[in-house]
Amino acid sequence: MKNAYDFKKVERSGSIAVRFFGPIEKKYLGFLGLLIFGVLLFTVFGSRGLMQIYQMREERDRIQMNNARLDDENKKLAEQIRRLRTDKHEIERIAREEMMLVGKGEIVYQFEK
């Protein structure tokens, strides 16, 4: 009667080695190897694979940096809005610098470049 595992004794340079895989089992081993290779490919390059995860983390980091920059800009604009609502000197400064307005009784000197 044959065992479920067909062990064969193989003589190699004075020592005995036991071969476990016979011809039928080698087919299954090849199939298993292909299956593992396919799973690895899918794990690395699939739609939710390692490459996709890496790209999504980079995109998340870029978005977080952009959000931090926009938060800083929003804080500066909120401070500017607060100054414009409460500080008359700020309004006067903007009128002079950006709109080239002058106050009552002031003399404007223009120089050619």
37 and 57 share one domain: no
Whether residue 82 lies inside any domain: the answer is yes
* Domain span at 28: 1-45
Please compute Rg for the chain using Cα positions. 39
16 and 55 share one domain: no
pLDDT single digits (tens) 35-74: 998 888 888 777 778 888 899 999 999 999 999 999 999 9
Q: How many domains does the chain have?
A: 2
How far is 53 from 20, CA to CA, in rounded Å? 40
70 and 85 share one domain: yes
pTM of the model as a whole = 0.50
Sequence-ordered list of residues with C-beta below 8 angstroms from that of 51, at least 6 positions apart, any chain: 44, 45
